[in-house]
Amino acid sequence: MLYIGCHLSYSKGYEAMGRQALEIDANTFAFFTRNPRGGAAKAIDETDAAALRELLDKNSFGRLVAHAPYTMNACAADENIRRFAREAMTGDLIRMEATPHNYYNFHPGSHVKQGVDVGIKLITEQLNECLTAEQTTTVLLETMAGKGSEMGRSFDELRAIIDGVELKDKLGVCLDTCHVWDGGYDIVNNLDGVLEEFDRIIGLDRLKAIHLNDSLNPLGSHKDRHAKIGEGQIGADALIRVINHPKLKNLPFILETPNDIEGYAREIKFLRENYSE
């Protein structure tokens, strides 16, 4: 079963996202749990959340992949930024229980001159503080392009973070095709090899979701500029191989391509036409 969707706006609430997903033939989607640039989160409307739960259930959606705000930096040098990151994650994990048993993806952060080891330590500390045995949400570390001092640029860095976390069954990884390509993993010519490496270092059982994006830049460029499917250096053929790969094909695929809603609908249609059960 192909679970495919895109980023949707939470501005009209939960049920509206579900209805919009149905309109564009999506059966999963992503949304920001709060303003992506930070700030306070809206109060949860329980009736609205219940309406979405029913819609997801009725239409056999795959798991949703919520996204933490970009301003969340678990390994910032500034203590106030780290405190915001912890408070936002703790709050978001409570909010996520309005739509239980889904995914919450976050960028591990940027260590800003403190070094990779301090970065790993601070990120694991945040996770150990925020994850709870009761939560039904799985928190996903996103693979990053390695722009500046961004953490999560290699499978080894993600593995080191996972190793430090106590509640490992609440933790997974979201692989972003643009980011791993920019990070130097050749998913165009050697997808099998990249997945073998992922399996050896992290374990494919931890891979829970895919961000499906083309990239404006070449392999290993560490730039993180997304392109529409087929309009970047990864190309449509390689991305079609990703959605059809036997080790990936049942995961939720989320488009984060530079598109309006019609553009997303076209990409979803194109990918469905190129998927074989």
Catalytic residue flag (residue 222): no
The residue (of 214 and 224) whose beta carbon lies closer to Zn ion is: 224
Contact between 92 and Zn ion (CB under 5 A)?
no
Give the C-alpha separation, 117 to 105, whole Å. Answer: 22
Q: What angle do CA 43, 15, 141 make, to 5 degrees?
A: 70
Binding partner at 214 among Fe ion, Zn ion, none, C-beta below 5 to 8 Å by kind: none
Binding mask 159-178 for Fe ion (x = CB under 5 A): -----------------x--
Of 100-159, binders to Fe ion (CB under 5 A) are 142
The residue (of 15 and 176) whose beta carbon lies closer to Fe ion is: 176
Question: Cβ of residue 107: shortest distance to Fe ion, in angstroms?
Answer: 6
Binding Fe ion (rule: CB under 5 A), the pick from 111, 170, 208, 211 is 211
Binding Zn ion (rule: CB under 5 A), the pick from 224, 227, 240, 252 is 224
The residue (of 92 and 224) whose beta carbon lies closer to Zn ion is: 224
Tell me which residues touch Zn ion (CB under 5 A).
Answer: 224
Catalytic positions are: 37, 67, 70, 107, 142, 176, 179, 211, 224, 226, 256
